[in-house]
Amino acid sequence: MNILLKNIISVLSASCSSESSDIMIEHVSIDSRSSHNGAHTLFFSIIGPNNDGHIYVKDLIADGVGNFVVNYIPKGLEGKANFLLVENTLAALQQFAAYYRSLFHFPVIGITGSNGKTIVKEWMNFLLSPDFNIIRSPKSFNSQVGVPLSILGSNEKHNLGIFEAGISTVTEMEKLEPIVKPTIGVLTNIGTSHDEGFESTNQKIEEKLKLFKNAGVLIYKKVKTVDGLLPATIKKFSWSFEDNSAEVFISKIETKSQKSKIYYSYKGQCHDVQIPFEDMASIENAISCLLVMLYMEYDNATICARMSLLYPVEMRLVVKNGINNCSLIDDSYSSDFQSLKIALDFLESQNKFQKKTLILSDIFQSGLTDEVLYNQVAKLVVANHIQRVIGIGQTIAAFKDLFFNCITYPNTADFLDDFRNLDFSNETVLVKGARSFEFEEIVAVLEEKKHETVLEINLNALSDNLNFFKAKLQPDVKIMVMVKAFGYGNGGLEIASLLEHNQVDYLGVAFADEGISLKNDGIRLPIMVLNPESTSFSSIIQYQLEPEIYSLRGLNNFLKIAESKKIKNFPIHIKIDTGMHRLGFERKDIPDLIRILKTTDAVQVKSILSHMATSDDRTHYDFAKGQIQLFDELSTQMMEALQINPIRHILNTSGISNFPEAQFNMVRLGIGIYGVSNDPEEQKFLENVGTLKSIISQIRTIPAGDSVGYGRRFMAVQETKIATIPIGYADGISRGWGNGVGYVKIKNQKAKITGSICMDMLMVDVTEVACNEGDDVIIFGEDPTVVEIAVALHTIPYEILTSISQRVKRVFYR
Ligand SMILES: *Cc1c(COP(=O)(O)O)cnc(C)c1O
């Protein structure tokens, strides 16, 4: 991009703090960490629920960024840069994107709907890329911020745009419409997602349809609800399974062995096209793509040839376990520049290993010259601390010298031949390549042998849940996140890394060992140890962990060791017992505690805390208030006597929700971040984090009268189809969940657990489920939820989560 700052000032009707507006803007950014930030960057200081771009302005100026769109000029920075003052920085970004869009006149496909937007976008890109230079939204950038940023990636070389837009409530689409301004509109489908943001389904459809206000045509599935809401003026190009007044009538779908043949009639002629999928969602998404191609007047032979090659869209970046203890980030289906940026950012956030390798293919569709493109890639690589680049492809090989430590191969086969001579160990490897390079073969050789049962952890959901609770806190209140018991069973290091990336203030573990292992793996956040044994005090000091001290005995033991090591001001946390009666100093101990602390400078009271017994239970509200009051009183007594000003904290997850007045200076967030709430109302706002998955090992049909499993506890009353799944009580599935109490989900249908759960296996009834050996099985996640299982087993979700055995592999993704 090349736009004079003064033009932008006038587009935004901003008031500018300086005269030097002749500067050329080449790049727009909202991310303080972007490696593109520089003198010709215009930085929009976006204020979100959890972050405020204004706080980075000072550092960005120090890094040479000279132009900012702001709400106010941060203190002391007047005159230090060009500030464009606007009322709302997000609205300004959208306004600028709409202006930028108006500079380009190529066709734009705009996609919205409840599901399938990203898939349709990625497939359209695949289907049309032989003929166009396409700019599209990276990943699922479809939000109020994502859409403008997607559009701003356009340049003169592009001749087709494909953008998706997603909304969660009214008035959002009218802001996105002028930015996307689609010439061809695609409405994928209308489901129930985001229903809570609308008064009715009609209102939601109406809002979505606003995207197509100025579109030349709308492609959609013909249904009455949508037809009734469409303006008479819009040109329709619809499809239907039932209604043959649709422009494209789908007369028949034949599915067999993972393929479907779609029979359709169009302009009075019958055709068919085959796709390599058999599920209904993929079929409908493929039909949306078919209509775009028909509308663009592609002939049947081209449509068939291209659609037969449609592939599963990886919607997310997956971290896999690699050979020799490597971590593998698999992004092997795309190689455009924008998605490279996202993948590198993700790689940066994984600080499990210092050592990082990027395996990268030639990059297509950047719209830039190769020279400019690979220079930019080289810059990104440096900014993201990549130590080694393995380039695969003729073009990237030609630019090998731009990279510091780089080996190249002309093609994937040559790499695979040589790969045993390269060292891959104890590092994170990002595998990123265009589809034509078939990098899935590289992933296959680098990946550790797969386990059939995995606990998948959605790291985005974890961040979202963190933000949900952050939003409930007063501005200065700190957050400690409890990662004890291996992150409530979800995974210790990966979650701690993510929390460090998200800048929480403290981590909390139960025992010193847990803290030591996090420190050994490079976690730098301060870590409080809730339950330190006296025998671990030495290593606590050695590893700079911070003990919770809850008794005079513990304090004296710790002081003895600290003083013998001549340590000064070692941070400790004083726990007060205000009614939980588990650990902590009582009222009667406080004078002695104060006396001892006054005589030593070996330790420093970093914080004072207590723990609530009933923060989740309204029936004990008065008791809870009493605990808070006593905490306030005793901690105040200590602060006055010792003349200190420590962090004070008492609230756990339920406390954050139920006692907002008692946040003091910090809260300790636990179960909530893992997506589980003790309150059904709050549960609706949390995202599921862990999904326990397995597969079907074997399927058999047994006649009426036969039994299943130990003790013959299941007797078939009719012919019954039984599937065996390789997960049992040794993996943490309680036997109480067997014998018809519990169920698993297969192909989105319930399958009851039949008979007793075995040590390593369980059997389910799949008589009504069309399934095959090898199919995926959901043990828990969205459905059934751990809350539901906990209720059935008369326990709490905490126990279900932390029971999942360590032999179950954890796989992290976002
Ligand atoms: C586990 C724990 C928490 C977190 O509790 P949640 O209910 O999971 O939020 C907070 N404080 C202490 C002392 C804990 O042991």
Per-residue pLDDT tens over the stretch 179-203: 999 999 999 988 766 777 888 888 9
Q: Which residue has the higher pLDDT, 197 or 793?
A: 793
**Residue 601 in this model has a pLDDT that exceeds 70:** yes
Confidence of residue 323 (pLDDT cuts 50, 70, 90): confident
Point out the ligand 1 atom lying closest to the alpha carbon of residue 484. Answer: 1
**Whether the CB of 166 sits within 6 Å of ligand 1:** no
Among 652, 657, 678, 682, say which to mutate for ligand 1: greatest number of ligand atoms within 8 Å of CB. Answer: 652
pLDDT at 449: 63
**Residue 316 in this model has a pLDDT that exceeds 70:** no
Q: What is the mean pLDDT of residues 88-101?
A: 96
pLDDT, the chain, mean: 92
Active site residues: 484, 710
Confidence of residue 72 (pLDDT cuts 50, 70, 90): very high
Q: In the chain, where are the structural domains located?
A: 3-91, 104-307, 321-448, 456-683, 690-813
Confidence of residue 19 (pLDDT cuts 50, 70, 90): low
**Whether the CB of 671 sits within 6 Å of ligand 1:** yes
Q: Which residue has the higher pLDDT, 521 or 527?
A: 527
pLDDT at 314: 66
Distance 611 CA to ligand 1 centre (A): 8
**Whether the CB of 607 sits within 6 Å of ligand 1:** no
Confidence of residue 130 (pLDDT cuts 50, 70, 90): confident
Q: What is the mean pLDDT of residues 153-157?
A: 84
Q: Which tokens in the block code for residue 314?
A: 């990886």
**Whether the CB of 483 sits within 6 Å of ligand 1:** no
pLDDT at 410: 95
Point out the ligand 1 atom lying closest to the alpha carbon of residue 530. Answer: 13
pLDDT at 32: 82
Per-residue pLDDT tens over the stretch 297-308: 999 999 999 998
Per-residue pLDDT tens over the stretch 495-514: 998 899 888 999 999 999 99
pLDDT at 364: 78
pLDDT at 599: 95
Distance 484 CA to ligand 1 centre (A): 9
Q: What is the mean pLDDT of residues 238-259?
A: 92
In words, the CATH class of domain 456-683 is alpha beta
Distance 517 CA to ligand 1 centre (A): 20
Give which of 339, 403, 381, 383 is closest to 38, Cα–Cα.
Answer: 383
- The domain defined by 321-448 carries CATH number 1.20.140.10: no
**Residue 20 in this model has a pLDDT that exceeds 70:** no
Per-residue pLDDT tens over the stretch 749-778: 999 999 999 999 999 999 999 999 888 999
Output the CATH code of domain 690-813.
Answer: 2.40.37.10
Of 122-126, 183-187, 328-332, the least confident = 328-332
Distance 692 CA to ligand 1 centre (A): 23
Rounded distance between C-alpha atoms, residue 494 and residue 483, angstroms:
11
Q: What is the mean pLDDT of residues 796-804?
A: 96
Q: What is the mean pLDDT of residues 232-250?
A: 94
Count CB neighbours of 535 within 10 A: 9
Q: What percent of the chain lies above the pLDDT cut of 70?
A: 98
**Whether the CB of 465 sits within 6 Å of ligand 1:** no
**Residue 317 in this model has a pLDDT that exceeds 80:** no
Q: What is the mean pLDDT of residues 721-726?
A: 97
Of 18-32, 144-158, 277-291, 486-500, the least confident = 18-32
Distance 640 CA to ligand 1 centre (A): 27
The DSSP symbol for 501 reads H
**Residue 622 in this model has a pLDDT that exceeds 90:** yes
Count CB neighbours of 197 within 10 A: 14
Fold of domain 3-91: 3.40.1390
Return the SS3 of 747. Answer: coil
pLDDT at 668: 98
**Whether the CB of 667 sits within 6 Å of ligand 1:** no
Q: What percent of the chain lies above the pLDDT cut of 90?
A: 71
Q: What is the mean pLDDT of residues 577-603?
A: 97
**CA 33, chain centre distance (Å):** 18
Neighbour-count burial for 617-654, b at 16+ CB within 10 Å, e otherwise: eeebeeebeebbebbbebbeebeeeeeeebbbbbbbbb
Point out the ligand 1 atom lying closest to the alpha carbon of residue 488. Answer: 8
CA–CA distance from 575 to each of 561, 629, 632, 671, 680 (Å)? Answer: 20, 15, 13, 21, 30
**Residue 450 in this model has a pLDDT that exceeds 70:** no
Q: What is the mean pLDDT of residues 367-394?
A: 91
Among 468, 479, 482, say which to mutate for ligand 1: greatest number of ligand atoms within 8 Å of CB. Answer: 482
> Per the omega criterion (within 30 degrees of 0), is the bond before 660 cis?
no
Of 5-9, 48-52, 744-748, the least confident = 48-52
pLDDT at 773: 87
Count CB neighbours of 436 within 10 A: 12
**Whether the CB of 610 sits within 6 Å of ligand 1:** no
pLDDT at 513: 93
pLDDT at 50: 73
Q: Which CATH superfamily is domain 104-307 in?
A: Mur-like, catalytic domain (3.40.1190.10)
